[in-house]
Homo-oligomer: A and B are copies of this chain.
């Protein structure tokens, strides 16, 4: 998709840093990028980069520094558990040259959690209460161990259910560019037939982005053409151009209802 260009209103951006050898080794398939991207899009904060890196301190520190300086909001997922390879909190502290220690409130939450559990708050688990100086806790309603925000970095769990619960709290605090509007036109033209016309439509409608997504399913192939932008009139005008193009090429355009899976 070409990016909508609207230089007059620079929009806030986000990145996701996924910390975990288990993702890089193929053992686990990341599920957090998709969820984060969808949620952030509803408040007008596009994810402009996602990066998966190993549990190596120097790599994590360098990536936190680089990405946090380039985007408005950096999210991290993974590496905040109780084991020796859970180094994200320490690396974020190091990236901002902050001290890190067991945080009294985080410790209290873990104490309450383990008091009701059959397990003890041992030294390894207490690692999960290590929070950099000056950071703000992010509640973990699932398993108590909090995430945190330091500067523009949101340190969150890798477990998708916990990550999603933490994100629920963060989303209302973000200053976004307003929701990105999308209109989807579905048709049964092959992408190569529509490509030239879509290029023209993208050029003629510079404030919107035009993307095309072919899918090969049981009913033959299907092309979803998505127009995205912030200006409802511009998005609608471009979507109508797409419908006209599809008809000119002998296809049957079908406009998807908002929210319908494209």
Apart from the given pairs A22-B211, A24-B33, A83-B198, 10 other A-B contacts in the complex at a CB distance below 8 Å: A1-B21, A1-B25, A2-B55, A21-B211, A22-B213, A23-B33, A24-B49, A83-B195, A84-B199, A85-B210
A27 at the interface (CB under 8 A from B): yes
A236 at the interface (CB under 8 A from B): no
Report how far A119 CA is from B28 CA in the complex, Å: 40
A202 at the interface (CB under 8 A from B): yes
Contact with B along A179-220 (1 / 0, CB 8 A): 000000000001111111011001000000111111000000
A56 at the interface (CB under 8 A from B): yes
Report how far A24 CA is from B22 CA in the complex, Å: 21
The interface on chain A, measured as residues whose beta carbon lies within 8 A of the other chain's beta carbons, has a size of 62
Given contacts A55-B1, A83-B212, contact A37 B26 (CB under 8 A): yes
Given contacts A122-B192, A191-B81, contact A48 B26 (CB under 8 A): no
Residue among B36, B47, B195, B209 making CB contact with A124, cutoff 8 Å: B195
Report how far A60 CA is from B21 CA in the complex, Å: 24
A11 at the interface (CB under 8 A from B): no
B27 touches A226 (CB 8 A): yes
Q: List 8 A-B contacts (CB under 8 A).
A: A1-B55, A22-B213, A27-B226, A28-B213, A30-B30, A84-B199, A84-B202, A127-B195
Distance of A63 from chain B, by nearest CB (Å): 9
A41 at the interface (CB under 8 A from B): yes
A247 at the interface (CB under 8 A from B): no
A26 touches B22 (CB 8 A): no
